[in-house]
Amino acid sequence: MNQNKKAIGKEVSPMKEIVLEVKDLKTHFRTRKGVVKAVDGVSFKVHKGETFALVGESGCGKSVTCMTIMGLIGRKKNEVVSGDILFKERNITNISKEERRKLRGKNMSIIFQDPMTSLNPVYTVGSQIAEMPMIHEGKSQSKAKKIAVDMLGKVGIPSPEKRVNEYPHQFSGGMRQRGVIGMSLACNPELLIADEPTTALDVTIQAQILELLRKLKEDSKSAIIMITHDLGVVAEVSDSVGVMYAGTLVEKASVKDLFKNPMHPYTKGLLKSIPKPGSKERLTIIEGQPPDLHNAPKGCKFYPRCSYAMEKCKEEMPQLIEIEKNHKAACWLNEVKENGK
């Protein structure tokens, strides 16, 4: 059932069309206690047919990054967004609300973590899916409903003709998440953002949903940004990975390189702190906890927890630079290594 996995792990050639490019994205929140730099200078590209995983612990800014890309953050007075978001080479950072709305759901869509709160309990699942083609493609109600039935079938819900008329509370957790995925795919978006889509689900259901996302990507060739804190999920579904820490990307690489040859001390620490199946070796831990983003450390944000910290790390923030082909890391250690050669 899983033979196609190896093939997906292939590196995506740089020739492929870029669906989304994010350049130096910053999302700052002005609060009473001061400015919270939730996202502080993040850049990455996502290609067609690629799954890009954003990994990090809670509060590292991975969800805020994606909410900003979707335009769900940045309209209020206390939210300051800077940098560029290019969707298929078009800058969408500052477009109007109406234009945003035209993109959302049609060209780019998002799956949230909790399937219970992302469905409206007073409408049937079918009508919530049908809403998409009716609004964006001007489909008639009956045609839209047919699409909804198709979508439910596609995401693996048994007897979709019957289920289409049911309400969210009649669905189980896994089925609701399938419904939400069906909803976000109803208009064949070029970009799909999945914000911890399996965190609220059990392992066996998680396996089903991951398999479904894998299959859908194969069929529709859309680009997927997968947000997760689970490195196991990253290894299973993604092609390339960005590791976030305290609002910045600290490492970016293809999934194989990242697991085989992690370059940033934080990534190394993360990989060592998960128990491996079949091993009882004592876990190596990262001491301390992520910084308070109200007053993050001045230099490298990881240095208070880093066992390799040097003087330079306290003063200057390292940039994300290419160290090996397609493998970037933001750490002064790598510079020291380069000079030592």
Binding residues for another protein, rule: CB under 8 A, are 1-2, 5-6, 9, 57-58, 172, 174-175, 202-208, 210-211, 229-236, 255-256, 259-260, 269-271, 273-280, 282-287, 289
In angstroms, give the least distance from the CB of 329 to another protein: 18
In angstroms, give the least distance from the CB of 63 to another protein: 14
In angstroms, give the least distance from the CB of 180 to another protein: 16
In angstroms, give the least distance from the CB of 339 to another protein: 30
DSSP 310-340: -HHHHHSPPP-EEEETTEEE--HHHHHHHHH
Q: Of 141 and 172, which has the nearer Cβ to another protein?
A: 172
And the tokens for 297? 């450390």
Helix (H) or strand (E) holding 40: strand 34-47
In angstroms, give the least distance from the CB of 162 to another protein: 16
Whether 15 and 204 have beta carbons less than 8 Å apart is answered as no
Amino acid at 200: A
Which residue matches tokens 């944000």? Answer: 301
In angstroms, give the least distance from the CB of 24 to another protein: 27
In angstroms, give the least distance from the CB of 6 to another protein: 6
Q: Of 100 and 327, which has the nearer Cβ to another protein?
A: 327
Q: Of 32 and 282, which has the nearer Cβ to another protein?
A: 282
H-only helix segments in the chain: 4-8, 62-70, 97-103, 125-137, 141-154, 160-163, 173-185, 203-220, 231-237, 255-260, 265-272, 311-315, 332-340
Q: Of 71 and 269, which has the nearer Cβ to another protein?
A: 269
Question: What 3-state class would DSSP assign to 33?
Answer: coil
The sign of the CA dihedral 163, 165, 170, 171 is positive
Q: What is the dihedral of CA 267, 272, 277, 279, to 10 degrees?
A: 160
Burial (0-12, 13-18, 19+ Cβ within 10 Å), 35? middle
The Cα–Cα gap between 7 and 150 comes to 27
In angstroms, give the least distance from the CB of 171 to another protein: 10
And the tokens for 148? 């909804």
DSSP 63-112: HHHHHHHHTSSS-STTEEEEEEEEETTEE-TT--HHHHHHHBTTTEEEE-
Q: Of 83 and 297, which has the nearer Cβ to another protein?
A: 297
**Alpha carbons within 13 A on the beta-carbon side of 169:** 3
Q: Of 132 and 209, which has the nearer Cβ to another protein?
A: 209
Q: Which residues pair with 329 in a beta bridge?
A: 251, 321
Q: Of 104 and 215, which has the nearer Cβ to another protein?
A: 215
Which residue matches tokens 């290594």? Answer: 337
Q: Of 118 and 177, which has the nearer Cβ to another protein?
A: 177
Q: Of 172 and 295, which has the nearer Cβ to another protein?
A: 172
In angstroms, give the least distance from the CB of 77 to another protein: 27
The Cα–Cα gap between 176 and 131 comes to 17
